[in-house]
Amino acid sequence: MSPLPHFPTPYTPHPTPHTPHPTPHTPHPTPHTLHPTPHTPHPTPYTPHPTPHTPHPTPHTPHPTCV
């Protein structure tokens, strides 16, 4: 293998290196706060209907059979 050719001026890094941004990030000054009044359930709880279901008073009777 032949050696690499010689270049007259070798590589030189960029003269001014990178510098970070001068002012770093700062969080928002006022943090998040929850809503001041928490949720409260409805004051009157659910109550079932006062009169429960009652079956029909007269039960079903079969149709009379023809003779």
Q: Give 5-58 pLDDT, tens digit per residue.
A: 666 777 777 778 778 778 878 888 887 787 788 788 778 877 777 887 777 777
Report how far apart, in Å, the C-alpha atoms of 47 and of each of 15, 41, 42, 51, 55 are: 81, 15, 13, 11, 22
Q: Give the pLDDT of residue 65.
A: 81
Q: How far is the C-alpha of 64 from the C-alpha of 62, rounded, in Å?
A: 6
- What amino acid is encoded at 60 in this protein? H
Q: Give the pLDDT of residue 7.
A: 65
- State both tokens at 46: 């659910």
Q: How far is the C-alpha of 4 from the C-alpha of 10, rounded, in Å?
A: 13
- State both tokens at 39: 């949720």
Its pTM stands at 0.14
Q: How confident is the model at residue 4 (pLDDT cuts 50, 70, 90)?
A: low
Q: Give the pLDDT of residue 31.
A: 79
